[in-house]
Structure 1
Amino acid sequence: MEGEDEFIIKHLIDSLILLKKIEIAPGARVIDVGTGAGFPGIPLKIKRKDLKVYLMDSNRKKAEFLENAIKNLGLKETYVLCGRAESLGKKPEYRENYDLVVARAVSSLNVLSEYCLPFARIGGLFVAMKGREPEKELVEARDAVEVLGGKIKEVVQYELPEGLQRSLILVEKVKETPEKYPRREGMPEKRPLR
């Protein structure tokens, strides 16, 4: 178990940095892919009550925890989606339906792009929250991002207290994701797009 200060820095401040580094329109629909315990989605919702936040995780126990957290925190327009990105990303009610898609260090950028870009609307933004040196991932993912309908817009470097270096990779959704993506469950990890 990490200490209180470490929790505040690594989870709360790191989640809320999105509000300082990118512009999020009022009332935006935000999906947090692979949210785990609700980071960054829950802190974003607490700070920006106008957002419609969807917390997605494939783990049933985590989803139940999130449902309880939402209820106990009294958060409105905050929803839990329990399922895998490969399945939910194919469903019309979720596909290309979000203004902002965020993911925090879930997988490599080429894999994350296949999980996340299908959720972003054209003109929307996918933000991958990464460590200090994302250059190798950027090179490996450039073609995959383009195939999936995205364009790498910018890499924003920042430093958390205690000198922790982080990056936000901003990917703009410029065209529809082809229907064949995301591929079936497990394929993005087993055979990442290059």
Structure 2
Amino acid sequence: MENVRAFLNNEALKCGISLDDEAIDRFMAYKDMLIEWNEHINLTSITDDMGIVIKHFIDSLLCYSTGVIRPDARIIDIGTGAGFPGLALKIAFPSLKVCLMDSVQKKLNFLDNVIKALSLEDVELIWGRAEDYACKKGYREAFDVVTARAVASLLVLAEYCLPFAKLGGHVLCMKGPDVDGELVKADKAIKLMGGRLGDVLRAELPMSGGDRRIVVLDKVTRTPAAYPRRAGIPSKKPII
């Protein structure tokens, strides 16, 4: 366990994050709860300690390397699943105000138990779809940062995520190495939603955990009132 703790701490430092003992304790408890709950509901295919640290925790913390996350930012994580990257970022930066959204109630039940066990504050759980909540007051164009990991193609993510970002805010789309083709296809949708390609962070997870790309979309103009379209349409009829 000490090796896992030290490894997490060292890799977080490479992302520019200094984790105190309380944060590391929380990450270890989160890991243990993920493994325990995964025996009953499908949360992750990764069930070994080091795999969870590398492919979930460190992968999530890479978002901080983009330079767009302030410790006091308001963040919404779309399709959060087992809490990545949103809850991992919250543990690293307790002053973040985080909304975790997913359409699967069982996953939110897990997250609720983790949040209570770790005594985390300023975390909102949302059971619903991005297309619905992006039209609601208090959510539309209300967030400094919007994150999405393994949710959909960039073409679809633009319509899911950019309506949540405030002017001057950012969307972080976590992707694998083959993202260039997605960028070309998504150009029209990104612009239509009020976004602009900011940067593409290239990183490699330790111990051959794989190549990662984090696409940064900057919110430069307001999203037209007609978007996002109603639930299900963005994925069935993407903007091309």
TM-score tier, shorter chain, comes to over 0.9
One-letter identity of the residue aligned with 2:137: P
Identity rate, percent: 48
Q: CA deviation at 1:23?
A: 3.2
Amino acid at match of 2:217: V
| Aligned residue pair count | 194
Q: Distance in 2 between matches of 1:64 and 1:105?
A: 20
**TM-score, reference length from structure 2:** 0.79
- Asked if the contact 2:131/2:231 (under 8 Å) is kept, the reply is yes
Deviation of residue 61 (structure 1)?
1.2
SS at match of 2:207: helix
Q: Deviations over 1:123-148 (max 9, x none)?
A: 00001000012000000001100000
CA RMSD of aligned residues (A): 1.0
Which residue among 127, 135, 143 is the counterpart of 2:180?
135
Offset at 1:21? 3.0
Which structure has the bigger radius of gyration? 2
Amino acid at match of 1:180: A
Moved more, 154-163 or 169-178: 154-163
What is the rounded CA distance, in whole Å, between the counterparts of 1:14 and 1:22 in structure 2?
15
Q: Distance in 1 between matches of 2:215 and 2:67?
A: 11
Aligned to 2:112: 67
* Matched residue SS, 1:139: helix
Q: Does structure 1 retain, via aligned residues, the 8 Å contact 2:68–2:170?
A: no
Q: What secondary structure sits across from 1:162 in the alignment?
A: coil
CA separation in 1, counterparts of 2:115 and 2:144?
A: 21
Instruction: Give the residue type in structure 1 aligned to 2:200.
Output: V
2:217 matches 1:171: yes
Alignment of 1:1-150 (within 5 A): 1-2=45-46, 3-150=48-195
User: Residue 158 of structure 1 corresponds to which residue in structure 2?
Assistant: 203
Partner of 1:188: 234
Corresponding residue for 2:4?
none
Contact 2:201 2:214 in 1 (8 A): yes
Task: Please tell me the residue identity of whatever aligns with 2:214.
Answer: L
Name the CA distance, whole Å, in 1 between partners of 2:218 and 2:65: 18
User: Residues 48-72 of structure 1: CA distance to partner in whole angstroms, max 9, x if unpaired?
Assistant: 0111011011111112221111111
1:80-108: CA deviations, max 9, x gaps?
01100010011112000000000002000
Q: Which AA in structure 1 matches 2:225? A: E
2: CA distance, partners of 1:66 / 1:57: 10
Instruction: Name which structure has the greater RCO, CA cutoff 8 Å, separation 6+.
Output: 1
When you count strand as a share of all residues, which structure comes out higher? Answer: 1
The secondary structure found in structure 1 opposite 2:186 is helix
Letter in 1 for 2:237: R
Inter-partner Cα distance in structure 2 for 1:44 and 1:109? 22
Runs of 4+ in 1 over 3 A off after TM superposition: none
Q: TM-score, normalised by structure 1?
A: 0.97
Q: CA deviation at 1:20?
A: 2.5
Structure 2 unaligned runs (5+)? 1-44
Distance 2:114 2:100 in 1: 11
